[in-house]
């Protein structure tokens, strides 16, 4: 996201001549300190940006500066445009303007051949609002508060120092330092509600990498070796959810899936999402627990 902002800053300076750091900070919804870090990054990249003080002062480009496209190859230009288009997945602000300006500079007439949208069906506006709030909180290092619903349906109020957004296994997650648990945690954004950004600054972000390593190793060890049978009507899910090496097609048209997956409460709703197309063969403990839960579900609809 910083790269896109740097391009936008250059174009603003080319267009307006002189702009204050406060104006840029307000435009990009970041702190003045972040803008000055951006300016330092531009200077280190060889862009002649300078700041002047006093009345009428601000941030400017050298009058002799020209943004020359020749320092980028055709392949690099295409890769930049593709990367910027991919930012639409997280609703990056003013993306269309940046794409329009860069495509004009690069003389690329067609930059709409790909459309990346990772939001869920029917929930786009809610996720757009959340991404904007979380993006600002992460960049400005502000503590957030929200209500969270666990996989078991338990409701809790959380206060978190946000660190990064993660897209994994068809879902968006927020990773950060939870002040209630005093530890690093990962939250599924679809289960978050009433997100607010506070005026409090984060204090634990520098400890993120050190704190997360043991937890990530621990999570990696909590896996279950599954053997699943999927009927032919579930074929579309088989090839969407599992790799080819995990799938064996049987003579009757069904599929045998041998896969290692993280254990935990989430696993059963996932298995149930296949409906009657899936049967758990192994391990026996997962098979028995699946049968028990299915029996309880059936009893809710049993009419005496």
- Cis omega (within 30 of 0) on the bond before 283? yes
Pick 3 or 239 by higher pLDDT: 239
CA distance 179 to 160: 6
Choose the weakest-confidence range: 31-40, 126-135, 169-178, 270-279. 126-135
What is the pTM assigned to this prediction?
0.48
CA distance 238 to 245: 12
pLDDT for 255: 95
Pick 9 or 217 by higher pLDDT: 9
CA distance 174 to 165: 5
Q: What is the pLDDT of residues 77-120, one digit of tens each?
A: 666 665 555 555 554 555 556 656 566 555 555 555 445 555 55
Q: Give percent of the chain with pLDDT exceeding 90.
A: 20
Per the prediction, the chain carries an average pLDDT of: 77
Provide the residue count of the chain.
Answer: 304
Q: What is the pLDDT of residues 148-205, one digit of tens each?
A: 988 667 889 999 999 888 877 667 888 889 998 888 888 988 888 889 999 888 886 6
DSSP-based three-state secondary structure for 94: coil
- Identify the band that residue 124 occupies on the pLDDT scale cut at 50, 70 and 90: low
Are 280 and 287 spatial neighbours (Cβ–Cβ below 8 Å)? Answer: yes
Q: Give percent of the chain with pLDDT exceeding 70.
A: 68
pLDDT for 146: 94
pLDDT at residue 264 is higher than 60: yes
CA distance 224 to 234: 22
DSSP annotation of 264: S
Q: What is the pLDDT of residues 205-223, one digit of tens each?
A: 655 655 555 444 444 447 8
DSSP-based three-state secondary structure for 234: helix
């Amino acid at each position: 996201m910083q790269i896109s902002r740097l391009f936008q800053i250059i174009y603003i300076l080319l267009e307006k001549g002189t702009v204050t750091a406060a104006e840029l900070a307000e435009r990009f919804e970041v702190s003045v300190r972040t803008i000055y870090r951006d300016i330092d990054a531009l200077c280190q990249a060889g862009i002649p940006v300078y700041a002047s003080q006093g009345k009428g002062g601000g941030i400017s480009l050298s009058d002799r500066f020209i943004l020359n496209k020749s320092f980028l190859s055709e392949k690099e230009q295409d890769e930049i445009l593709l990367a910027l288009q991919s930012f639409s997945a997280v609703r990056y602000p003013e993306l269309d303007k940046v794409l329009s300006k860069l495509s004009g500079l690069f003389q690329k007439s067609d930059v709409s051949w790909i459309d990346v949208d990772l939001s869920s069906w029917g929930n786009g506006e809610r996720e757009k609002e959340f991404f904007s709030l979380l993006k600002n909180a992460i960049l400005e290092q502000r503590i957030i508060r929200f209500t969270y619903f666990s996989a078991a349906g338990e409701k809790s109020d959380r206060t978190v120092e946000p660190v990064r957004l993660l897209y994994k296994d068809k879902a968006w997650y927020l990773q950060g330092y939870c002040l209630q648990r005093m530890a690093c945690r990962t939250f599924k954004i679809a289960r978050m509600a009433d997100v607010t950004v506070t005026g409090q600054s984060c204090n634990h972000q520098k400890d993120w990498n050190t704190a997360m390593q043991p937890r990530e190793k621990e999570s990696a060890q909590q896996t279950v070796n599954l053997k699943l049978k999927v009927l032919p009507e579930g074929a579309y899910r088989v090839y969407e959810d599992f790799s080819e090496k995990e799938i064996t097609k049987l003579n009757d048209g069904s599929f045998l899936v041998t896969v290692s997956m993280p254990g935990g409460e989430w696993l059963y709703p996932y298995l149930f999402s296949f409906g009657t197309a899936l049967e758990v063969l192994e391990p026996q403990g997962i098979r028995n627990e699946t049968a028990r839960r299915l029996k309880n579900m059936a009893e809710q609809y049993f009419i005496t």
